[in-house]
Structures are given as C-alpha cells and as structure tokens.
Amino acid sequence: MNDGLQGKVVLVTGAARRIGAAIARRLHASGANLLLHYRGAEAEAASLETEFNAARPKSAAKVKADLLAPIAPRSLVSTALERFGRLDVLVNNASTFYPTPVGAIEGGHWEELMGSNLRAPLFLAQEAAPQLKKSGGAIVNLADIHGDRPLKGYLVYSIAKAGLVALTRGLALELAPEIRVNGVAPGAIAWPEDDQFEPPERERIVATTPLARLGSPEEIARAVHFLATAPFITGQVLAVDGGRSVFL
C-alpha cells in the first residue's frame, strides 16, 4: 500500500487508541512516518510506536501533550521537525465527548469541549501550515455527523463539531492552493467506553442507520487515507456513517 504517502510525515492527534490508532496503522502501512500524539494513554502509544518501528525502523515517534495548553501546537510541530525533518499531513483526530444538557452547562465544559474539538485543530493547523505548504500537504479533521445534526443533550459538543466543519471549509479557502483541507464525519463507530449510551439507545441508533450496523475504526481510517492523498479534493466533509445522516 502506497497511495502517495511513501516517505511522508504525518502527525495524528489522539493516535494511541481507538479511531486514532486505526488511522495511524493505515497511514503507516501506506509508507508514512508517524508522529503519534497522546495525552494520557502512555502504554498504548508506546506499544504502537514499538509496533511501527519494528516494521520499519525509525518510522514512528510518540509525543505527549495536552492540546488545551497554549504551547502544544508549536511543541508538536517542532517535535515532528526534530524527529523527521518535515511535516506533510496533519490529522486532527483528538476529541473530548460527554453530555452537556441545557441547565447544567458550566464554563469548564465549554473550555474543554471547544478546546479539544475546535480550538486545538485551528491552532495546530496554523502552526503546521508553513511546513505543509512546502510539500503541498494536507489536513484532515475528524468532525461528526452531529456537527450538522445536533445530538440532544450534547449541546456544547455539537456546537464544537459544527465549528470544526466550518473551520475545515474556511481553512480550505485560506490555505489554498498549497494545502488541501478536508474532514471526515463519522456516525456510530465505537461506543464510548464510559457507557454513555444505554443498550436501548444503542439499539435505536443501529436501527436508524440504513446500513444497519456500526462502522469500524478501520473504515474511518480508509476515508482519512483517501482524503490525505486525493489531489483534487478540498473543502469537503465526507460522511462515513452508514447513511445515518440521511435518516436524521
């Protein structure tokens, strides 16, 4: 598998687990070198780094950062340059997700959800842009179908992802023609590990998905890979949701 990433350097945020790890594996298998960002999943990030370097020496490095810290964007881009000498693709995957029903929303909820889902992608893109321009690179943002169709009880998250959709399209204009910017909007892929959705709600979600199943992290990774290497696509947000956004 190559598809245009051989020897390229990719920064994936939230790369240690779940969808982020699937994206990292897919892009590494295509020949890319990976900077694996993580916040708390030290063991998983180390395991992924070891796996990649065993397959191809010096092809991966892990880096810990809190994306809410103002210094994080510059630190991550600097690390990519120190370890690999270039940066070709930025994948803004890291996200925070939890309910914020009206009447219970606090300032901290706003700061955390907007910070991880919108502010961090913006400032990472801004910091990475000079390097991405050198190689005609790409940015892929992980949005959500609820950026267009809000999820009841998750108001701040939905607002943040709506902002990320707007950011994706806006950056496509701002950074053209050197950098392409696109997004992937997953539907139900992997249930939250903290059991936010009760079994009846999970059944309802699958029942209202035209393809009648959950998606897989690997299916999201395929879409990210496609957009990272598609030379004449920019400003698009691709729904990978089994058709659920058609139903909602």
Q: Which residues are catalytic?
A: 157
Count Cβ atoms within 10 A of the Cβ of residue 195 and give its class: 0-12 exposed, 13-18 middle, 19 or more buried: exposed
Amino acid at site 49: E
Q: 35: which strand partners?
A: 11, 61
Both tokens of 21, joined, read: 């790890």
Both tokens of 89, joined, read: 């693709």
Between CA 157 and CA 74 the distance in angstroms is 25
Cβ atoms of 76 and 123 closer than 8 Å? no
Q: 62: which strand partners?
A: 36
